[in-house]
Structure 1
Amino acid sequence: MKNIDPSLFYRNSSILPECSLIISLIIIVIIDSISKGKDTLLLYRISLTSLVTSIILLLGQWETGSVPIAYGSLQINNFNNIFRLLLLICSLLSVLLSVDYIRCTKTALTEFLLFILTAGLGGMFLCCANDLVTIFVALECLSLSSYLLSGYMKKDIRSNEATMKFLLMGGASSSILVYGFSLLYGLSGGETQLYKIVDGLLSTEMYNSIGIYISITFIVVGMGFKLSLVPFHQWTPDVYEGSPTPVVAFFSVTSKVAALALFTRIFRIIFSYLSGEWHIALGILAILSMILGNLIAVTQISMKRMLAYPSISQIGYIMIGVLAADPDNGYASMITYTFLYIFMNLGTFACITLFSLRTGTDNIRDYAGLYTKDPVLTFSLVLCLLSLGGIPPLAGFFGKLYLFWHGWKAGLYSLVLIALITSVISIYYYPKIIKLMFTGKSDTSTIYVQDPSVSSSTSISKSSIEITMIVCVLASTLLGILIDPIIEITRNTLF
């Protein structure tokens, strides 16, 4: 009998965090089938336990180094582990944020948890996918779950419209991305793994051909949709406005973190060695995103739609770290700001989720006089908005400062200058909302009128939403003080 190679167990144990989520998905389906959807509290606890377990497992194997899995289709390393951890944090906070909303609106919790965990699972596999087929399968696992989540409120016309737009445009972008992948496959001589594609392009001498530029174009367009880069952002405001608020909170951070991990690796591994023109193209997209996202946000009257445009500009800021590509600081600044952005964004959405449950509206003018009704909610929203705007001494300010400084040192002068100018624009529309909450005259017909979709007999505590809100507010406020240790940990982990 042959001896079993012990390294096989060592390699396979690297995907234990994903296995934890898969097991929880199976358990949730079985329990829901047995209890016929009645034991929702147990399902909620199982999902939280699986996410916490995955985080512990991931942290416990952090120093495993670079580990190939499944014949190299997956590659586990510290860079991928950071994004896997960010996705688990996003999913954990999103479940905490969503569960009371789902119970209050009397919609199915089981399906919601399944979609959330499946999307998180797809995102985690996407972060460590190392060949074109695995990348596409993982990306569609994340995307299809997001489409279903956006149309979760089946009786809401706006939710149905958001799903249709999201599905059609998402399908088109996936087709474009696959075509770009197929060109890479052909030009490299039939290679699918990322590192082997580089060798294949060099050996076939196709690294400077027209085909490779066409491939770059199609991949940028496909990934631009996932990241909401201008001009591929058209789906973002409509989907944000029509989807349930906790759902928007989830994929506003999860899809961006996963797509950013893939985007960075593809261009770092493949195109950075072959051509420098993609830097110019990405710089133009980042500039357009920063300008358009901030300018259009000024004119919005819906809170969710207003937050859609700053999310477009935020990804433009993050692109500075990708383009800087400094081995010591470029990626570290990008990851640090993404980490802070998760808390700032989810904290803001936790506040507006709580407000929408109490009022049934997301119109900005209905926030008038909120301070007199709920000071805690008001101050929480103020801190998150100011942190998103980059106001000192909050975490968003230090994150932007670090990101812009290393972009400047990398020679991205025009990009950083435009980022600074557009950041000033955000200082207009965020304080406008804050001023309205403190000085506006409240309309008693809209303040704290229950959401029509919520049963009047529902008496559920919003404790999980409030816990998420407090955690995110504290992180958005205090992490700025700890920015140096966070940066040092990120830099040491990466390199």
Structure 2
Amino acid sequence: MNNADYFLSLRNLSIFPEYILILSLITIIVIDLSYKGKDILLLHRISLISLLSSIVLLLCQWEVKSVPIAPESLQINTPSNIFRLFLLIRSLLSVSLSVDYVRCTKTALAEFLLFISTAGSGGMLLRCANDLVTIYVASECLSLSSYLLSGYAKKDIRSNEATIKFLLMGGASSSFLVYGFSLLYGLSGGEVQLNKLVDGLLSTQMCDSVAIYTSIAFVAAGMAFKLSLVPFHQWTPDVYEGSPTPVVAFFSVTSKVAALALSTRLFGIIFPYFSGEWHIALGVLATLSMILGNLIAVTQISMKRMLAYSSISQIGYIMIGILAADPENGYASMITYTFIHILMNLGTFARITSFGLRTGTDNIRDYAGLYMKDPVLTFSPALRSPSLGGIPPPSGFFGKLYLFWHGWKAGSYPSVPIALVTSVISIYYYLKIIKLMFTGKNERSDTSTIYIQNSLVSSSTSISKSSIEIAMIICALASILSGILIDPIIGITQNTLF
């Protein structure tokens, strides 16, 4: 095989994981139409097999370096493969966690898997996008699927309300992003590819114009919405509370991982000569997110709303890695903590899903005395909550330690002390839940206390309990191992990126 044939084979192989997801999506639609109204596990197996196949294929072609695809509209490289792997792992665990929940609540399994596959493929293409048009199309593929997932429980008024809010505010953020892109297109002399935009801006001598700063502001606002940074976070608590719990478990991290991947690419390529401006803007947004996210989370009585504000603060922590002037250590620590956050977050939502299936509530006070009723369900948050708060020795502590340390060395002096203080605040409301589960007394009457099955759930909750507990155990073990092996993980990430 000559060099041209080898290069062509790499180009065809590089986006094959996305091809597999699209093929499985079509297969699920065809099978569902053929067996309409029948509860079959075949759809579940097809989805899991396609996700596993995509992961294996992605790992097999991991060493492919910077392969342009589709007239340079997509660019495959090692950093993009890292985020693609994160999205595939997240989708795989979400399907494993959610499928029995969907079956027990007697909702449409095919629709759920369809939206999951579409959102996953959109997020993967978003990280590989190499021009403004492809970025917007992939972003909307992910966003529209997320809107539909948030309204998946059609008979739930709160889910319908969450969908409307999500759709309206998401449309506004997309308009900000498109307007910023249109300014970049005009100022660069008609360039759309990311690696040519900077040369276009330099050739047209528009680097110091008012319009370029306006473009930076609109792009930053559009990305801040997708990342749930304050003050563009208003959609997050309502969508978390109104959407079905497995849906929240999926896009609570999926959208953020895709947005983080896009942020590092946009601000690292398009705005290299404006580092001072976008560093200040994103630094202020990250600081506000850490402060307000944790302070408001303390006052919440709904578990899902509390985790919504917690996720807002978590993304503020992650932004410290992006803002670090040292990309080698800053990006490596950011990617490592993002991976740890995926495991912690999914394990937490697995517990909430199991609790909600049995009680139909996500009120924090209903967790009182949970230890006496289900020690296994109590064991998961007892491990996960300290990790989210950054208490040693779980993996969350080491992830935050590396992230804050490299942020401090990179000169993020205002952000790191605030991150440390707000992390202490987060420890309070995480430990409050653990204390409630072990020492609290449920004030509700015996006829309405825990383990009264939700009326929307069928009698086969034992299946759901089994699958959800398996997901919790997997996430717990992965979180522990990632904490023990934090040094090798950081080293592998640094060697992979640079």
Answering whether residue 138 of structure 2 is matched by residue 138 of structure 1, we say: yes
How is 1:220-239 mapped onto 2 (pairs within 5 angstroms)?
220-239=220-239
Which residues of structure 1 form unaligned runs of 5+? none
2:303, 2:290 → 1: CA distance? 19
**Corresponding letter in the other structure for 2:393:** P
CA RMSD of aligned residues (A): 1.3
Deviation at 1:32, TM superposition (A): 1.2
Partner of 2:63: 63
| Aligned residue in 2 for 1:257 | 257
One-letter amino acid of the counterpart of residue 307, structure 1: L
Measure the CA separation in 1 of the matches of 2:172 and 2:260: 19
Report if aligned partners of 1:40, 1:110 keep a CA contact under 8 Å in 2. no
TM-score (norm 2): 0.97
Distance 2:73 2:481 in 1: 39
Distance 1:327 1:456, change over 3 A: closer
The answer (yes or no) to whether the contact 2:394–2:480 under 8 Å persists in 1 is yes
Residue 446 of structure 1 corresponds to: 449
Tell me by how many angstroms 1:251 deviates.
0.4
1:195 has 2:195 as partner:
yes
1:469 aligns with one of 472, 489, 493 = 472
Partners of 1:26 and 1:37 lie apart in 2 by 18
Give, in whole Å, the separation in 1 of the partners of 2:406 and 2:61. 30
1:22-37 counterparts in 2 under 5 A? Answer: 22-37=22-37
Q: State the alpha-carbon separation in 2 of the partners of residues 307 and 459 from structure 1.
A: 26
Greater Cα offset, 222-231 or 379-388: 379-388
Q: Which of residues 487, 491, 494 in structure 2 aligns to 1:488?
A: 491
User: Quick one: distance in 2 between partners of 1:457 and 1:353?
Assistant: 15
TM-superposed deviation, 1:209: 0.9
Matching residue's letter, 1:383: L
8 Å Cα contact 1:208-1:274 kept in structure 2: no
The amino acid that maps onto 1:198 is: V
Show the counterpart of 2:346. 346
Contact 1:133 1:192 (8 Å CA) reproduced: yes
> What is aligned with 2:75?
75
Q: Secondary structure of the equivalent of 2:457?
A: coil
Instruction: Indicate conservation of the 8 Å contact 1:162/1:243, yes or no.
Output: yes
- Secondary structure of 1:329's partner? helix
What is the CA–CA distance in structure 1 between the aligned matches of 2:340 and 2:7, rounded to whole Å?
36
Question: How far, CA to CA, are the matches of 1:477 and 1:427 in structure 2?
Answer: 19
TM-score scaled by structure 1?
0.98
Displacement of 1:40 in angstroms is 2.6
- Which structure 2 residues correspond to residues 94-493 of structure 1 after superposition, within 5 A? 94-442=94-442, 443=444, 444=446, 445-456=448-459, 460-493=463-496
Letter in 2 for 1:465: I
8 Å contact 2:347–2:471 — kept in the other structure? yes
* Cα displacement string for residues 148-193 of structure 1 (whole angstroms, at most 9, x for unaligned residues): 0000000000000000000000011101110000000000000000
Q: What amino acid does structure 2 have at the position aligned with 1:329? A: N
Alpha-carbon separation, structure 1, partners of 2:327 and 2:299: 39
Quote how far apart the aligned CAs of 1:275 are: 4.4
When residues 325 and 127 of structure 1 are mapped into structure 2, their CA distance, relative to the original with a 3 A threshold, is farther
Deviation by residue 1:277-314 (Cα, 9 ceiling, x = unmatched): 11111110010000000000000000000000010000
How many pairs are equivalent? Answer: 493
Describe the superposition over 1:32-58 as per-residue Cα deviations: whole angstroms up to 9, x where unpaired: 111224253000000000000000000
Contact 1:18/1:54 (<8 A) preserved: yes
- Unpaired segments of 5 or more residues in structure 2? none
Measured in 2, the distance between the counterparts of 1:54 and 1:246 equals 22
Displacement, 1:446? Answer: 2.1
Shift of 1:273: 2.8
Taking only the aligned residue pairs, the percentage that are identical comes to 79
Offset of residue 274 of structure 1? 3.6
Q: Which residue of 2 aligns with 1:17?
A: 17
The Cα of 1:220 is off from its aligned counterpart by: 0.6
**Counterpart AA for 2:108:** A
User: CA contact under 8 A between 2:392 and 2:398: conserved in structure 1?
Assistant: yes
Deviations 1:363-387 (A, max 9, x none): 0000000000011110111211110
Q: Distance in 1 between matches of 2:461 and 2:257?
A: 35
Contact in 2 for aligned 1:385/1:430 (Cα 8 Å): yes
Secondary structure at 1:479's aligned position in 2? helix
Q: How has the CA–CA distance of structure 1 residues 254 and 271 changed in structure 2, closer, same or farther, with 3 Å as cutoff? A: same
Higher mean C-alpha displacement, 226-235 vs 27-36: 27-36
Amino acid at match of 1:450: Q
Distance change (3 Å), C-alpha of 1:418 and 1:461: closer
Deviations for 1:106-146, whole angstroms, at most 9, x for unmatched residues?
00000000000100000000011010000000000000000
Contact 2:333 2:490 in 1 (8 A): yes
Higher mean C-alpha deviation, range 470-479 or range 403-412 = 470-479
Contact 2:104 2:464 in 1 (8 A): no
- In structure 1, what residue type is equivalent to 2:147? Y
Residue 456 of structure 1 deviates from its aligned partner by: 4.5
3-state DSSP of counterpart to 1:155: coil
Letter in 1 for 2:117: L
CA distance in 1 between counterparts of 2:152 and 2:325 reads 39
* Aligned residues of 2:104 and 2:460 also touching (Cα < 8 A): no
How many angstroms apart in 2 are the aligned matches of 1:41 and 1:169? 36
* Equivalent residues of 1:333, 1:487 under 8 A apart: yes
Q: Helix, strand or coil: the match of 2:318?
A: helix
